[in-house]
């Protein structure tokens, strides 16, 4: 099943049949909100608003582990992550979609792994016969490969949807994840630009890392809501972020619906093999 994590300003998708709202408990604490189980043209998807209803969790205090573990408990294997970002690459204009294929991690204070060796928190209710459980229950230390962190099949599906719908979009974006909640200085954006970042946001990491740690497929599409600090001539505001997400709402909903419809059932990528040989 597909899991969809919605970002700032994306709280519902019309045209979708809501089947259930489920509260999921995890040993890592509470997810951002209830998960909404929905159906579209015979396909099921589970939605979660990353910041919770009413946008109550700032990026650095989102319980990413609970959010991703909750998806596992609901049988999700593929996650589509949607988020607002600032544009760094001069090719980008506000309103553009960017599909990422790499990230740079500048986060600082977030729990970053499920595998904490002797400190690992084990979900006693999870009895799956898989490497996730084997490693967690045996308190192993795990170093997953993130050379190519995003699922190539899901990423291709996203690009073909944007192409078909004639949306302005870019592929192969490098997402720089900052800690927030403050925005960046002009010097930080200059640095990120020199390091090869195309976009900047505060939520992709550790979301993608945790999903990959439990062998899920993960892809991300971002909406450029503003030009990043120092590139924009104006003072940055949350108002412009929300305004752009609202303006793009219909297009984002279209991406989500098409994605649910088009994403293949089975993939021949390596995402599910990431745990083989990864534990010490």
Interface residue list for ligand HPA (CB under 6 A): 84-86, 178, 183-184, 200-202, 225-226, 228, 236, 241
Distance between CA atoms of residues 91 and 52, nearest Å:
32
**How buried is 167 (Cβ within 10 angstroms: 0-12 exposed, 13-18 middle, 19+ buried)?**
middle
Write out the H or E segment, with its range, that includes residue 48.
strand 43-49
| Closer residue to ligand HPA (CB): 22 or 242 | 242
Distance between CA atoms of residues 88 and 83, nearest Å:
15
| Closer residue to ligand HPA (CB): 117 or 181 | 181
| Closer residue to ligand HPA (CB): 39 or 243 | 243
| Closer residue to ligand HPA (CB): 182 or 250 | 182
Nearest to 155 by CA among 178, 136, 175: 175
For residue 95, the minimal CB distance to ligand HPA (Å) is 13
Write out the H or E segment, with its range, that includes residue 209.
helix 204-213
| Closer residue to ligand HPA (CB): 45 or 202 | 202
For residue 240, the minimal CB distance to ligand HPA (Å) is 8
Half-sphere exposure at residue 102, Cβ-oriented, CA atoms within 13 angstroms: 9
- Measured CA distances, 168 to 46, 220, 228 (Å): 27, 16, 18
Distance between CA atoms of residues 279 and 141, nearest Å:
6
For residue 105, the minimal CB distance to ligand HPA (Å) is 14
Closest residue by beta carbon to ligand HPA: 86
For residue 226, the minimal CB distance to ligand HPA (Å) is 5
| Closer residue to ligand HPA (CB): 200 or 220 | 200
For residue 177, the minimal CB distance to ligand HPA (Å) is 9
Count the residues in the chain: 280
For residue 118, the minimal CB distance to ligand HPA (Å) is 35
């Amino acid at each position: 099943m597909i899991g969809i994590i919605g970002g700032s300003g994306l709280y519902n998708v019309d045209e979708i049949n809501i089947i259930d709202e489920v509260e999921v408990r995890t040993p890592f604490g509470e997810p951002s909100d209830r998960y909404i189980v929905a159906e579209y043209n015979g396909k099921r998807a589970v939605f979660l608003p990353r910041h919770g209803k009413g946008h109550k969790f700032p990026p650095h205090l989102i319980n990413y582990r609970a959010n991703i573990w909750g998806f596992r408990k609901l049988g999700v294997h593929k996650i589509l992550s949607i988020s607002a970002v600032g544009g760094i690459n001069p090719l980008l204009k506000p309103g553009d979609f960017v599909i990422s294929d790499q990230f740079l991690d500048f986060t600082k204070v977030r729990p970053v792994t499920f595998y904490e060796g002797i400190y690992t928190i084990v979900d006693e209710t999870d009895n799956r016969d898989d490497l996730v459980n084997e490693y967690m229950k045996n308190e192993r230390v795990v170093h997953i490969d993130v050379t190519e962190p995003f699922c190539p099949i899901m990423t291709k599906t996203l690009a073909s949807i944007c192409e078909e719908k004639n949306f302005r979009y870019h592929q192969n974006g490098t997402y720089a994840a900052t800690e927030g909640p403050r925005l960046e200085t002009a010097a930080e954006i200059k640095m990120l630009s020199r390091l090869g970042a195309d976009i900047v946001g505060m939520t992709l990491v550790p979301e993608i890392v945790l999903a990959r740690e439990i062998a899920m497929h993960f892809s991300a599409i971002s909406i450029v809501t503003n030009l990043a600090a120092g590139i924009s001539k104006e003072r940055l505001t949350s108002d412009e972020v929300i305004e752009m997400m609202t303006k793009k709402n219909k297009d984002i909903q279209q991406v989500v619906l098409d994605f649910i419809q088009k994403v293949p059932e089975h993939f021949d990528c390596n995402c599910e093999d990431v745990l083989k040989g990864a534990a010490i």
